[in-house]
Amino acid sequence: MRLDVETTRAGPGCLLVLLCLLLGCLAMPARALVLSASDGVGRGVQLSGALEIQRDPSGRWRIADVARGAQRSGFAPLEGPVQEGFGRDAVWLRFSLARTADAPARWLLRVRPPRIHEATLYAPDGRGGFVETPLGDARPFAAREIPDHNFVFPLDLPTEPAVYFLRLRNDGPSLRAELDLWQPLGFERDRTADYATMGVLLGAALLAVCMNLIFGAWLRDGLYAHYALYVLCIAALSVNRQGFAAQWFLDDRPERVAQTLLAVNCFFNMVGTAFMSRIFQFRRHWPPAAYFFNAVVVFNFAAFVLALAGHHAAVATWVSAGSTASTLFGAVFACYLLFVRRQFQYLLPASAFAVGTVLGLYGLLKLWFGDRVPGVAPDRIYWLGTMFHLILLNVAVADRTRRAERDFRAERERVLAVRLEAEQALEGTVARRTAELQQTNAALHEEIAARARLEARLRESLEVERQAIAQQREFVSMVSHEFRTPLTVIDGAAQSLDISKLGAEPVVKQRTERIRRAVQRLTMLIENILLADRLQPENRTLRIEALDMAALARGLCESFHFPGASRLVLDVHEPLSRVRGDRALLEIALQNLMQNALKYSPPEQPVHVVLRQTDNTVQVDVIDRGPGVAPADAARIFEKYFRAETASAVAGTGLGLHLSREIAIRHGGDVVLHETGTGGSTFRLAIPAAPLGPGA
């Protein structure tokens, strides 16, 4: 009862105390982490399992809200590190720390990786409030109390459990955080190892760049320069991912840290994607794979430009998704080349990319599950993966050089063998051809001698033939001249008989006409023979003068003694220019055309002789009403001595049309068969008109 009375008397005060204790219990984490003197020296103490998390979608909560306000009860236990993805929500972490009496009071809380935009620690001040320590890549590096590439918060731990709050937020990149505690001495050792590892990585990268640039210059292969650029990109990406860029280059430009990281990442994706496509020869094995990687390069270039323009927060998610897709595609295609196509020369580069990928996945598992996954810390895994990737890839590129040298030597030996074989074959061929050439030369000398003898005989034969032709021409000319006198006498006698009293008798008149026709045919034949002799190349001398073709044709029509000459009808189209030519030759050409038309036209049908001028040409058309020229004979009627089968019943020598054309050609013109058919034929004589001038 005393207890009840005392309780009743002290009821309000006791209830207040109990309420405060209850609120304190609610605000305290489920389990406090107690640190001893041996912790945080050889390795950091992971806070995995001692953290509670609560997400702030609005990003406006204050420490009072989460420590004593409405949000104090919203924390949930967190197993492993913080892994929030690409959201922009703020994250509050709560944890309780204490130390043993023999442990030092000074501790360091390290938050990794150094790619967090805002990281603010709220440590209890012992008076019910909190001391705020803001860090993150949004703040200048010079403002950090502990100058390290990671985010390091100094802590003074009490021996009794104290509650700490940590607010994290990213603006675009994936939010991932791992917390560990160190004693200052252990932290210095670990930081020295970090910087030494980075120095080794940068030194190895510089050595690889120099070696590959030298190899590229020696071998004149652009792949080595491409690999050197790839190594530089890996080094630059490592410097940025591990936070060294903020310390070394951007210590007073914190707003550029996230932007620079994404820009370097995009540039690395461009160079690495192109290098992977090139070293695995995607274009040769499957062009669509090369097109896909080219598209990835273009996408990363666009993201690179956007990052430089200040839009890095908006494109960070897409860059990460594109990198994942291209990496998976490259891995699948490399497996296809190795296990399906049996292209084992790609085993070393595939191993290099596989080691980097596998160690990267292992680092993620280690980051997610903490100490439940055996092995070193995730950042150490990243360093290890990068080093192994560079070493294996450098070996792969060197192996490519070895294989190229081996192939070159094999090809050179093959070329030398082929060259030796070709030289031996060439020597045998030269010897054989030399013997054949000697035999051919001997035969050629004999043939030349034989041809010389034949040429001499041919000259003799040609000389004999030339003399025979000259004698023949002389004989023909003499006979033709001798024939003219008796033919003139016969024609004169026939004319005298025709005009005598006896010429009126029908029988006498008929016979005198036959005599005169025969005399006319013989005269034309003699004229054509003499003209053919005159048109020979050695006798081609023209007596050129200005001629009126209309007057010449009119005179021929009036004085023509060929039977049926009265059927000639002359039609002249004025004006008509003069021509320059040999009167005698042009008269013979027209006589032959007229005589040819009169011979093949029916006795009752007229023969039209039409003269006209077309442009600078005087044309004479001789139109008959004969049976026409057969198509098979049209191409040959101007040949010397040619007579068609249809003309066998008509007397002739086959010289008239040939001589007419030769005369026209000698005057710069021509004679053609203009029209032909069953209703008759038209032969056209064309002569160039004489130019106007004093001598025209």
Residue-wise pLDDT for 200-218, tens only, equals 888 888 888 888 888 788 8
Q: Which tens digit of pLDDT belongs to each residue from 55-97?
A: 998 888 999 889 888 888 889 998 877 877 767 789 999 999 9
Picking from 14-28, 287-301, 541-555, 569-583, which range would have the lowest pLDDT averaged per residue?
14-28
Q: Are 254 and 246 in contact (CB under 8 A)?
A: yes
Using N-to-C axis directions, what is the helix angle for 583-600 and 506-534, rounded to 10°? 130
Helix (H, G, I), strand (E, B) or coil at 501: coil
Tell the burial category of 114 from Cβ atoms under 10 Å away from its Cβ (0-12, 13-18, 19+).
Answer: buried
Residue 417, SS3 per DSSP:
helix
Structure confidence by residue, pLDDT tens digits, 162-186: 999 999 988 766 788 889 999 999 9
Give 3-state DSSP helix, strand, coil % of the chain, rounded to 5.
Answer: 60, 15, 25
Q: How confident is the model at residue 290 (pLDDT cuts 50, 70, 90)?
A: confident
How far is it, in rounded angstroms, from Cα 478 to Cα 652? 22
Helix/strand/coil (H, E, C) string of 525-584?
A: HHHHHHHHHHCCHHHCCCCEEEECHHHHHHHHHHHCCCCCHHHEEEEECCCCCCEEEEHH
Q: Any bridge partners for residue 582, and if so which?
A: 544
Q: What is the CA radius of gyration of the chain?
A: 60
- DSSP assignment of 132-148 equals EEEESTTS-GGG-SS--
Tokens representing 442? 């001997």
Q: Which of 144, 138, 113, 114 is nearest to 254 (CA)?
A: 138
In sequence order, the β-bridge partners of residue 33 are: 97
Provide the angle, in degrees to the nearest 10, between the axes of the packed helices 378-499 and 347-369: 140
> What is the structure's pLDDT at 130?
92
**Neighbouring residues of 277: CB distance < 8 A, sequence distance ≥ 6:** 283, 289, 290, 293, 294
pLDDT at 232 over 70: yes
CB 539 within 8 A of CB 573: no
Tens of pLDDT, residue by residue over 510-547, are: 777 778 767 776 777 676 666 665 555 555 577 889 99
| Cα diameter, the chain | 203
Question: pLDDT over 90 for what percent of the chain?
Answer: 17
CB 555 within 8 A of CB 570: no
CB 117 within 8 A of CB 123: no
Report the pLDDT value the prediction gives residue 565, as an integer from 0 to 100.
73
Angle between helices 656-666 and 583-600 in degrees, nearest 10: 150
Which pLDDT score is estimated for 11?
A: 43
User: 3-state SS string over 593-659?
Assistant: HHHHHHHHCCCCCCEEEEEEEECCEEEEEEECCCCCCCCCCCCCCCCCCCCCHHHCCCCCCCCHHHH
- How far is Cα 511 from Cα 519, in angstroms, rounded to an integer? 12
Alpha helices in 41-158 (DSSP H): 63-67
pLDDT classification of 35: cutoffs 50, 70, 90: very high
pLDDT digits (tens, 9 = 90+) for 474-508: 666 666 656 666 777 787 777 777 677 676 677 77
8 A C-beta contact, residue 686 and residue 619: yes
Q: Is the pLDDT of residue 679 over 80?
A: yes
**Rounded mean pLDDT of 652-663?**
81
Q: Residue 24's pLDDT band (boundaries 50, 70, 90)?
A: very low
Of 281-295, 540-554, 573-587, 636-650, the range with the lowest mean pLDDT is: 636-650
Instruction: Name the average pLDDT for the chain.
Output: 80
Secondary structure letter of residue 170 according to DSSP: -
Helices (H), 176-221: 184-219
CA distance 365 to 537: 109
- When pLDDT is averaged across residues 182-205 and rounded to a whole number, the result is 87
Taking only the tens place, the pLDDT of each residue in 589-613 is 898 898 888 888 888 889 999 999 9
H/E element holding 179? Answer: strand 175-182
H or E stretch including 95? strand 90-99
pLDDT at 412: 85
Question: Of all residues in the chain, what percent carry a pLDDT higher than 70?
Answer: 82
Rounded Cα distance, 374 and 368, in Å: 12
pLDDT category at 580 given cuts 50, 70, 90 is very high
pLDDT at position 6 over 50: no
Residue 564 CA to residue 649 CA, distance in Å, equals 18
Cβ-in-10-Å burial (0-12, 13-18, 19+) of 16 comes to exposed
Reply yes or no: is the peptide bond before residue 154 cis, omega within 30 of 0: no
What local confidence, expressed as pLDDT, does residue 670 receive? 93
Pairwise CA distance, residues 140 & 151, whole Å: 12
- The pLDDT of residue 325 is 82
Q: Residue 12 above 50 pLDDT?
A: no
**Dihedral sign, CA of 235, 240, 246, 249?**
positive
Going by C-beta distance under 8 Å and a sequence separation of 6 or more, which residues neighbour residue 375? 362, 366, 381
**pLDDT tens profile 450-480:** 989 888 888 888 888 777 766 666 666 666 6
* Alpha carbons 682 and 607: distance in angstroms, whole number: 10
Say if residues 178 and 118 touch (Cβ distance below 8 Å).
no
Give residue for tokens 């040609």. Answer: 462
**Cα(267)–Cα(270) distance, integer angstroms:** 5
pLDDT tens-digit profile of 242-267? 778 777 877 677 777 778 888 888 89
CB distance 479 to 533 below 8 Å: no
The pLDDT value given to residue 32 = 84
State CA 399 to chain mean position distance: 31
The number of residues in the chain equals 696
d(CA 487, CA 524): 11
Question: 91 near 179, Cβ under 8 Å?
Answer: no
Closest CA to 38 of 101, 93, 82, 103: 103
Tokens describing residue 579:
């021509």
Contact criterion met (CB below 8 Å) for 65 and 124: no
Q: What angle, 0 to 180 degrees and rounded to 10, lies between the N-to-C axes of helices 257-279 and 222-241?
A: 150
Under a CB-based contact definition with an 8 Å cutoff, are residues 547 and 578 in contact? yes
The answer to which of 125-139, 535-549, 561-575, 618-632 has the lowest mean pLDDT is 535-549
What is the C-alpha separation between 683 and 620, in angstroms, rounded? 8
Say how many C-beta atoms besides its own lie within 10 A of residue 548's C-beta: 14
Residue 4 has pLDDT above 50, yes or no: no
Q: Which run of H or of E encompasses 90?
A: strand 90-99
- The reported pLDDT for the residue numbered 609 is 93
How confident is the model at residue 36, as a pLDDT? 92
* pLDDT at position 9 over 80: no
Contact 667, 545 (CB under 8 A): no
With 50 as the cut, is the pLDDT of residue 21 above it?
no
Mean pLDDT of the 96-103 span: 93
Residue 25 has pLDDT above 70, yes or no: no
Provide the residue type at 371 as one letter.
D
DSSP state of 256: G
- The better pLDDT of the pair 686, 512 is held by 686
For 33, the enclosing helix (H) or strand (E) is: strand 33-35
Q: Please choose, from the candidates 100, 96, 77, the residue with its C-alpha nearest in 3D space to the C-alpha of residue 164.
A: 96
**DSSP letter at 103?**
S
